[in-house]
DNA sequence: CTCCTATATCAAAATATATTGATATGATAA
DNA sequence: TTATCATATCAATATATTTTGATATAGGAG
């Protein structure tokens, strides 16, 4: 429970969770959407993964991350975050990046 | 929401919340129950208060803290914490301290 | 094989948070 | 008044977390 709250106590990580509400995304999509450096994004993804909030799947060069099922409490937290967090700017950048076929 | 998770991402603060499930407690009760220094306890109480999780009430020399009502999401978090967190040792020390009438 | 791309990891630096010991405040009791 | 108790706050230190820049790894393309 403490690890869960720790994982959620960072703005970047909440933004990642909100982005993943859309479905699986690769690291470069997330990096483009958040406008952050790739090592930074990888760092935060690793913390979310450790806490059991997200999972990854390798496919060729890419690693796709998505929200993991988790228990009822965890899912409730994720739903609440997604409901309350605005992320229009991130979404827009994600769309732009995908149109540009950057990865 | 971020402030809420930040406030909850510390073991001492979760222990305080769990103790306050019992009802209002003064700082010296909490200090005795957790076996921590008074400034440390005051520090963590101030963070919980800032986040809207607890409230305080002055009465003479004492300051009593209790869980604050908050919104539905906040209350759900508090209930979940209290349900999942064991704190037998803290409770025992609280009882002992009260029997000894230390404050 | 060589080059490029996507991602992870590492060490160092930067920043944030927590702890300690000392002191301040304010209420009460003697 | 003076002493004492409960609590808060502060400055200094200690500790934890995050960020950065560099490098490693591994897959695919040419």
- pLDDT, tens only, B63-80: 999 999 999 999 999 999
| Banded model confidence at residue A99, pLDDT cuts 50, 70, 90 | very high
pLDDT single digits (tens) A36-45: 999 999 999 9
Q: A85 touching B, CB under 8 A?
A: yes
* Residues A13-41, mean pLDDT to the nearest whole number: 98
pLDDT single digits (tens) B44-57: 999 999 999 999 99
Residues 40-79 of chain A with CB under 8 A from chain B are: 73, 76
Coil, helix or strand at residue B71: coil
- Look-up of token digits 């937290």: A77
Give the span between the Cα atoms of B50 and B26, in whole angstroms: 18
Task: Give the tokens for residue A6.
Answer: 């720790």
Helices and strands: H and E segment counts in chain B: 6, 3
How many CB atoms are closer than 10 A to CB B3?
13
- What is the secondary structure of B34-47 as a DSSP string? HT--HHHHHHHHHH
A76 CB neighbours in chain B (<8 A) are 76
Structural domains of chain A, ranges and CATH numbers in brackets: 2-98 (1.10.10.10)
| Banded model confidence at residue B101, pLDDT cuts 50, 70, 90 | confident
Coil, helix or strand at residue A30: helix
Is residue B83 within 8 A of residue B75, CB to CB? The reply is no
């Amino acid at each position: 429970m403490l690890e869960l709250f720790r994982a959620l106590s960072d703005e970047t990580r909440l933004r990642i969770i909100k982005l993943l509400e859309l479905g699986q995304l690769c690291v470069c999509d997330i990096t483009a959407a958040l406008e952050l450096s790739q090592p930074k994004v990888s760092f935060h993804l690793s913390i979310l993964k450790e806490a059991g909030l997200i999972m990854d799947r390798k496919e060729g060069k890419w690693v796709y991350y998505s929200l993991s099922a988790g228990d009822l409490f965890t899912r409730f937290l994720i739903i609440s975050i997604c409901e309350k967090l605005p992320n229009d700017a991130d979404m827009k950048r994600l769309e732009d990046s995908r149109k540009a076929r950057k990865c």
